[in-house]
Structure 1
Amino acid sequence: MKKIYITIVLSLLPLLMFAQGENDNWYFGNYAGVRFTGTTTTLLDSQRASGFASGTVSDNSGNLLFYTDGSQIRNRAHQVMENGLGINNGTAWQVSFVKHPTNPKQYYVFTSNFPGGIVSYSLIDMSLGALGTNGEPLGKVVDGVKNITLFDDLGGSYSSFGVTVVPHADGKSVWVCFPRDIKMYSYLVNASGLNTYPVVSNMNITPPTSYYNAKVSSSPTISSSFSNYISLNVWAGIYNESKVMSFNNATGKITNDYLLSIVSLTPTTTEFNKDASILYVGMNGSGNIYAIDMLSSSTSLVYNQIYNNPNLECYAIQRNKYNDIYINYRDRDYLSKIYNPDVYGGSSVMLNAINLQGRTTTESLPPLLITADNPCPDSYTLTVPETYVDHTYQASNTITTHTNYIVEQDQNIRMKAGNYILLLPNTQVRYSGTFLAKIEDCPSTIRQARKTDQKISLTLDLTKDAKADLLDIYPNPATDMLYIKSNSKIKNIEVYDISGKKINSTWSDNKVDVKSIPSGAYIINIQTENGKITKKFIKK
């Protein structure tokens, strides 16, 4: 007797999950690649040789579609995509992809450039191009929609050193943001496509007179008097100043609610954790990594140093689909990783987290593909036999099947909807097919931040933090006592386990008694008169 089991599950709490696999793959550096699908896999098939910019897009199931170094686009067969040479005339510093909100086969490619170039976009259509080994098209950069100039509000072309994408407040559209001097140009991509007339806002900053590299990035959405942070990192040589500004995703404008200035002797790069409660700052000249507590920093900054290594150059920090944060130290055969990125005071750096197996890093890591703040469409109506082998449909409202919807044997299909799932006559789930129907809201990671009319303006001066780098702990591993060598006066010491739980410990005269602590790995936060430093030690 054939048996088919259909399970209906009610879930009252939204879950953080990734039903879609567009961000499963990273291609970057010199022939380097990584795949994130539960377990992390090093990829060895990249044909990317170098380049400043990085970008990778996969389909909903995590199958590679294309990747770029900012000058050429390669398809899933690792060949140059049809019409994919000469993107932005080969001068891109940063690249962002945007999936067309109503045409899932089309992707916009936005590129920033070196001084003297112009901001432009191209359009990829995955329904075009030669057929691959699976019989599906390999994609093509659309004729007539390649390197199209984007104009400012006065109709002039301009150059920009960075580009980032922010979900719109409507949950369906996105903003594509380019900084230029003191202004931010925000272009709306909605159901109708790209609106090439920008929304313009003042960034309230003094632009650098010259620079040799830069990056702009956005935070996850928060619930506050503004919706997102925009981080602007400018590498200008002997004096470098990064900015973190507030952004309103309903208007597309920079606001005056929040401004953080980060001053340093060497360039910096930044990344937010999953809910923008912590900002991580990497130092290009020293390899140092700092963590800033964004929730607690209202009248003064709360921050600490979680790693330092004068022999490394931090060129990029990037969050992946699982909200893990990876560090790109230039010209290395590994990626580093921030452990416990959501626990302020409990995070640390693992240097060799992913071995790239002989491939090496360069200047950047691929940004996340952002479609909209709401990752779910309103509804699905399915009427033809299922083509996915393993897939999750998730809708904010309903899913309906009828006519000739069939789940065949050995297919694994999950459906999740916020309101209802309706299986009408002629819906079939055949023997050995697996089907799960579940009532569940779309996932949300929006942080409920403090709501206040207070305008916040803060400065982090890392030029004065150089003294704090002269600190060491020994022996490591430790058995009874852990000694601290510092050129600055120590004001407080805290010890945490690797999960972020605070451990009871006693200290005096620059030494910590660890003999009663169980064996394992620990984080020690050392507060000196120059700031807070975080280091990792092993208790034997």
Structure 2
Amino acid sequence: MIRFRHLASAAIFALTTLSAAAQGEKNNWYFGKGAGVVFENGTPTATSSRLFTEEGSASLSDKDGNLLLYTNGITVWNRDHKVMPNGNGLMGGKSSTQSALILPKPGNEAIYYIFTTDIQAQSNGLRYSVVDMSKDNGNGDIVTRNNFMIAPATEKLTAVRHSNGRDWWLLAHRWNSNGYMAYLVDTNGVATEPVMSMVGIVHGGPNRKAIGYLVPSPDGNRLAAALWNDDSSFEILKFDRSTGKISDPIHLKGFSQAYGVAFSPDGSKLYGTTNNGQMNKAQIVQFDLRAGSAEAIAKSATVVATSGSPSIGALQLGPDGKIYVARKDNYYLGVINNPNAKGKTSDYIDNGFHLGKQKSDLGLPNFPHGLAKQSIN
């Protein structure tokens, strides 16, 4: 029995080590006003880039942490920070919350998809372009641009690894509808028809309600969305990674200008950013997802921090297990140092990470869930 325990412990350690070693896809962040962060062995270092964006961006690296490409939804840069061939003119909007998302094509290591969303449910809608990384001496080339998927759509855009550990579900939301859309992305390409889930509240009305993040939980089985407006809210939903269906919405009401959302690494907490421009009061709210019923989760809302910035935006979980907070026009990112902890013991630091000579804006790079996961979960 003792020997078995030792073997089991060694196996768990090995799996943990392998998992940690295969997390490099999210190591390079480019966002804001030429700002960047590079994570090496879990340690962040400030850098700079060619990218300027008010809100959305996306970047992707290989499993070892080497940069592949990045974009603001309009222009695409390669690993050398040069515009890719045909890398201008994508139909995202740099003032769209999640203007872009990069997905590797299952079964083809050279092909990547760049999905884009237009600003505030405008006519460009949801589209995708295709990158062939085998071209231009391995630096990549855009081989098709702006393939139409649907319009109008909100600014919400994320992806979750399929339960088969190979394929993807691309997730977005229709405008003036309560319809969440899940497009299968597999070895055949991007599905032309999504799995529709008519669930939760209608995302519609004034175009500003198209603003706000959509993100998955660490296990991919839950989603959270922010709906930005003067009288706005958050949604929490369940996601079936086998079927693409979304269900069981929890509506969290009354959070002015809700924008960013992020789950804690253990999935027990949800964080959201709220703003009130008239009062210059930007706050981070925490919800306890283990509180019990939907009503109990709503009642668990706790303001864990108020920022010195009048506006804060995206929340993004880093490779180091901390949650980073975008502060508009600021040389610092906020940092939640212990996001699994309850209330203010989560330890938010407003001037948590210095960006050097570059400034943050409202966005941080958009990543899919499950980049390093290749097994059934």
Distance 2:33 2:199 in 1: 35
Distance 2:282 2:95 in 1: 25
Task: State the shift of 1:31 in Å.
Answer: 0.7
Q: Which residue of 1 aligns with 2:212?
A: 215
2:359 partner letter: T
Q: Deviations over 1:344-391 (max 9, x none)?
A: 23202112222111200112101224455x7247xxxxxxxxxxxxxx
Alignment partner, residue 259 of structure 1 = 250
Query: Secondary structure, in 3 states, of the residue corresponding to 2:321?
Result: coil
Task: Note if contact 2:59-2:365 (Cα within 8 Å) is conserved in structure 1.
Answer: yes
1:163/1:215 contact within 8 Å kept: no
- Corresponding residue for residue 284 of structure 2: 289
Of 337, 340, 360 in structure 1, the residue corresponding to residue 338 of structure 2 is: 340
Separation in structure 2 between the aligned mates of residue 246 and residue 102 of structure 1, nearest angstrom: 28
Identity %: 28
| Partner-residue secondary structure (3-state), 2:207 | coil
Structure 1: distance between partners of 2:320 and 2:354: 19
Aligned 8 A contact 1:113 1:162 in 2: no
**2:69 aligns to what SS in structure 1?**
strand
Tell me which residue corresponds to 2:300: 302
Shift of residue 311, structure 1, vs aligned partner = 4.3
Match of 1:72 among 72, 75, 82: 75
Larger radius of gyration: 1
Query: Within 5 A, what are the aligned runs for 1:236-251?
Result: 236=229, 238-251=230-243
Contact 1:99 1:371 in 2 (8 A): no
Match of 1:141 in 2: 142
The answer to whether the aligner puts 1:127 opposite 2:134 as a matched pair is yes
Distance in 1 between the 2:85 and 2:168 partners? 27
Checking the alignment, whether the CA contact within 8 Å between 1:71 and 1:92 is kept in structure 2 is no
Of the three residues 42, 45, 64, the one matched with 1:41 is 45
1:109 aligns with 2:110: no
Summarize the Cα distance change of 1:311–1:354 in structure 2 as closer, same or farther, 3 Å threshold. closer
1:251 and 1:328 map into 2 onto residues whose CA distance is: 33
- Give the alignment's TM-score, normalised by structure 2: 0.86
More helix by share: 2
Q: Is the 8 A contact 2:158 2:368 kept in 1?
A: no
Once residues 92 and 100 of structure 1 are traced to their aligned partners in structure 2, the CA distance between those partners, rounded to angstroms, is 27
Give the C-alpha shift of residue 12 in structure 1.
Answer: 2.8
Aligned to 1:422: none
Q: Work out which of the residue numbers 141, 162, 187 in structure 1 matches 2:156.
A: 162
- 2:178 paired residue number: 182
Work out whether residues 217 and 223 of structure 2, in 8 Å CA contact, stay in contact via their aligned partners in 1.
no
Query: Residue 211 of structure 2: SS of its match in structure 1?
Result: strand
Unpaired runs of 5+ in structure 2?
A: 1-6
Equivalent residue runs for 1:123-522 within 5 Å: 123-129=130-136, 131=137, 137-142=138-143, 145-151=144-150, 157-180=151-174, 181-212=177-208, 214-220=211-217, 222=219, 228-236=221-229, 238-256=230-248, 258-285=249-276, 286-298=281-293, 299-300=295-296, 301-309=299-307, 311-345=309-343, 346-371=345-370, 375-376=373-374
Task: Please state how far the C-alpha of 1:112 moved relative to its aligned partner.
Answer: 1.4
The 1:92–1:50 alpha-carbon spacing in structure 2 relative to 1, beyond 3 Å, is closer
- CA 1:251/1:320 → structure 2, altered by over 3 Å: closer, same or farther? same
Point out the more displaced range, 47-56 or 295-304. Answer: 295-304
When residues 266 and 20 of structure 1 are mapped into structure 2, their CA distance, relative to the original with a 3 A threshold, is closer
Distance 1:33 1:191, change over 3 A: same
User: Structure 1 74/341 Cα, relative in aligned 2: closer, same or farther at 3 Å?
Assistant: same
How many pairs align? Answer: 351
Query: Alpha carbons of 1:51 and 1:85: their partners in 2 closer, same or farther (altered >3 Å)?
Result: farther
Using a 3 Å threshold, how does the CA distance of structure 1 residues 351 and 309 change in structure 2: closer, same or farther?
closer
CA distance in 2, matches of 1:259, 1:9: 39
1:28 aligned onto 2:23: no
For the 8 Å contact 1:105–1:126, the answer to whether it is kept is yes
The structure-2 alpha-carbon separation of the partners of 1:288 and 1:255, relative to structure 1 and needing over 3 Å to count, comes to same
The letter for the 1-side match of 2:271 is: Y
Aligned 8 A contact 2:56 2:94 in 1: no
Separation (CA, whole Å) in 2 of partners of 1:307 and 1:111? 32
Q: Relative to structure 1, is the Cα distance of residues 217 and 321 closer, same or farther in structure 2, using a 3 angstrom cutoff?
A: farther
For the structure 1 residues 371 and 196, does the alpha-carbon distance in structure 2 shift closer, same or farther, using more than 3 Å as the test?
A: farther
Matched residues in 2 for 1:282 and 1:360: separation? Answer: 19
Question: Partner of 1:443 in structure 2?
Answer: none
Deviations along 1:520-540, one digit per CA (max 9) or x if unpaired, are xxxxxxxxxxxxxxxxxxxxx
Amino acid of the structure 1 residue aligned with 2:228: W
Give secondary structure in 2 for the equivalent of 1:61. Answer: coil
Please give the alpha-carbon distance, in whole angstroms, between the structure 2 residues aligned to 1:58 and 1:41: 16
Deviating above 6 A after TM superposition, structure 1's stretches of 4 or more consecutive aligned residues are none
Gaps of 5+ in 1: 1-7, 132-136, 152-156, 378-395, 397-445, 447-540
User: Is residue 52–residue 70 contact of structure 1 (8 Å, CA) maintained in 2?
Assistant: no
* CA RMSD after TM alignment: 2.3
Task: Decide which moves more: 349-358 or 302-311.
Answer: 302-311
For 1:104 and 1:140, locate their aligned partners in 2 and report how far apart those are by CA, in whole Å: 14
SS at match of 1:361: coil
Offset of 1:281 from its aligned partner?
1.5
